[in-house]
């Protein structure tokens, strides 16, 4: 058994016994890299990645092209690194089935995982039944939320398709703060007016930034424009 294989065995046993919580950042990256570089010492590369991007999150958030610029990172390694945040997102989303979004806190908690590792503004539509149980949550647009490309007709068609009683709209501010812009307020009003015509309740518009969110329902904005 080589020195490297013995080290890898100890790392795996440590993970299986105690989990990843107490791993230094470079050890966590090193462990991941075992599966991209099975025949190489990955410790030095893990240190280079952490030094280059500043943290474990920085490594996973780094653009694919920037990862490839790090000595020792090839396409397979970069692809594995980029897989992790999106796999985490899928795991968190799949773990939240049959949710009832009858409070703003629940709605925000439900929607935050949908924005893990997203670098572009993305709009999600949550369709709810009369008891606020989630029927569907799907992306309806990726781009700028104030763009005329946000298709309100698609919002209505999707809500009617799922026989929804009400909807929640969510979008993110990548790299910004979770505060509504004038454009956010304008599109909210347009959506509310369109939903009102077909008898659908506009429950909330939630704006996400990093791990924070703001509810336009909590702010009173939706109630004001509804009256």
Going along the chain from its start, the domains and CATH numbers come out as: 3-93 (1.10.150), 96-226 (3.40.140.10)
pLDDT, tens only, 45-66? 999 999 999 999 999 999 999 9
- Residue 143: per-residue pLDDT: 74
**pLDDT above 70: residue 227:** yes
- As a whole number, mean pLDDT of residues 125-147 equals 86
State the sign of the Cα–Cα–Cα–Cα dihedral 181, 183, 189, 194.
Answer: negative
Instruction: Show the tokens assigned to 108.
Output: 């925000």
Q: What is the mean pLDDT of residues 90-98?
A: 83
Q: Which residues contact 167 (CB under 8 A, 6 or more apart)?
A: 125, 126, 127, 128, 155, 159, 195, 200, 201, 202, 203
Inform me whether the pLDDT recorded for 38 exceeds 80.
yes
Mean pLDDT of 136-149: 73
Beta strand 201-209 with 166-172: parallel, antiparallel or unpaired?
A: parallel
Task: Answer whether residue 25 shows pLDDT above 60.
Answer: yes
Q: Give the pLDDT band (50/70/90) at residue 144.
A: low
pLDDT over 50 at 148, yes or no: no
User: Per DSSP, what are the bridge partners of residue 215?
Assistant: 206
Is 0.85 topped by the overall pTM? no
Does the pLDDT at position 191 exceed 70?
Answer: yes
pLDDT the model gives residue 145:
53
pLDDT the model gives residue 1: 44
Q: What is the mean pLDDT of the chain?
A: 90
CA distances from 133 to 109, 126, 128, 200 (A): 14, 10, 5, 15
Q: Average pLDDT of 10-30?
A: 93
* CA angle at 197 for the pair 188 and 167, rounded to the nearest 5°: 50
Percent of the chain with pLDDT over 70: 95
- Contact between 158 and 136 under an 8 Å Cβ cutoff? The reply is yes
């Amino acid at each position: 058994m080589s020195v490297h294989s013995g080290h890898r065995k100890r790392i795996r046993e440590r993970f299986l016994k105690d989990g990843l919580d107490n791993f230094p950042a470079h050890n966590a990256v090193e462990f991941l890299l075992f599966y991209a570089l099975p025949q190489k010492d990955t410790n030095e590369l893990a240190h280079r990645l952490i030094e280059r991007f500043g943290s474990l999150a920085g490594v996973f958030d780094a653009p694919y092209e920037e990862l490839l610029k790090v000595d020792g990172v090839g396409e397979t390694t970069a692809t594995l690194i980029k897989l992790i945040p999106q796999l985490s997102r899928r795991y968190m989303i799949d773990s939240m089935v049959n949710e009832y979004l009858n409070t703003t806190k629940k709605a925000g908690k439900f929607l935050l995982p949908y924005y893990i590792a997203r670098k572009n503004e993305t709009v999600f539509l949550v369709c709810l039944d009369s008891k606020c149980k989630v029927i569907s949550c799907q992306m309806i647009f990726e781009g700028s939320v104030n763009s005329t490309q946000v298709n309100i007709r698609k919002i209505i068609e999707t809500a009617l398709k799922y026989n929804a009683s009400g909807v929640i709209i969510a979008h993110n501010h990548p790299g910004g703060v979770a505060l509504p812009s004038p454009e956010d307020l304008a599109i909210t009003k347009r959506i509310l007016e369109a939903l009102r015509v077909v008898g659908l309740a506009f429950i909330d518009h939630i704006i996400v930034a990093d791990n924070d969110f703001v509810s336009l329902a909590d702010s009173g904005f939706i109630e004001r424009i509804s009256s």
